[in-house]
């Protein structure tokens, strides 16, 4: 199956990625391989979010200046409290500037978390994290 990454969801803003397993990829080829396997395992395209390039930087928006006032306050709050998600957003910003990519997958439960992380690892994802409602778990450094 040939995956057209451009046709997959590229959100305009990344809020706290609740119930998401997130990994960084060095390039499109490796991420496309992971996406193909995720889809073959029954995940839906709507469960996937891709962040890359300028559009990804706009969505991450570490300063919160490119979105609504509420989103601005959310980023400032994350930065002020030095939360785990703030560290993620800073890292995401740096990785996107290097030309790397981020894949985020909606995750319903612990079983899905493990399946997604395993697939991501097989396709060279790094710094894989799971974002629950009240905590962030680093699955792979």
Q: Is residue 100 part of a domain?
A: yes
Number of domains in the chain: 1
Q: Is residue 59 part of a domain?
A: yes
Q: Is residue 98 part of a domain?
A: yes
pTM: 0.88
Percent of the chain with pLDDT over 70: 92
Coil, helix or strand for 111? helix
Rg (CA), the chain: 14
Q: Is residue 6 part of a domain?
A: no
Q: Is residue 15 part of a domain?
A: yes
**Residue ranges, the chain, pLDDT below 70:** 1, 72, 79-84
Q: Where are the alpha helices (DSSP H) in the chain?
A: 28-40, 53-60, 69-81, 84-97, 110-122
Q: Which residues contact 128 (CB under 8 A, 6 or more apart)?
A: 21, 22, 23, 24, 117, 120, 121, 138, 139, 140
Domain that holds residue 57: 11-140
pLDDT at 14: 84
Half-sphere exposure of 117 (CA within 13 A, CB side): 18
Question: Is 76 in contact with 67 (CB distance < 8 Å)?
Answer: no
Q: Average pLDDT of the chain?
A: 89
Q: Is residue 2 part of a domain?
A: no
pLDDT at 85: 74
Q: Is residue 116 part of a domain?
A: yes
Q: Is residue 45 part of a domain?
A: yes
* CATH code of the domain containing 124: 3.30.70
- Give the CA-trace dihedral at 41, 131, 27, 114, to 10 degrees: -40
């Amino acid at each position: 199956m040939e995956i057209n990454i451009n046709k997959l969801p590229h959100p305009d803003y990344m809020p706290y990625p609740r119930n998401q397993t997130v990994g960084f990829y060095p390039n499109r080829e490796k991420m496309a391989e992971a996406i193909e396997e995720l889809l073959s395992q029954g995940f839906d395209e709507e469960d996937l979010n891709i962040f890359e390039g300028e559009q990804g930087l706009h969505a991450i928006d570490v300063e919160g200046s490119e979105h609504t006032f509420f989103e601005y306050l959310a980023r400032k709050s994350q930065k002020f409290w030095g939360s785990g998600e703030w560290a993620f957003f800073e890292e995401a910003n740096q990785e996107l500037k290097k030309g790397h990519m981020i894949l985020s997958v909606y995750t319903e439960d612990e079983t899905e978390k493990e399946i997604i992380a395993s697939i991501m690892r097989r396709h060279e994802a790094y710094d894989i994290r799971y974002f629950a409602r009240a905590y962030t778990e680093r699955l792979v450094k």
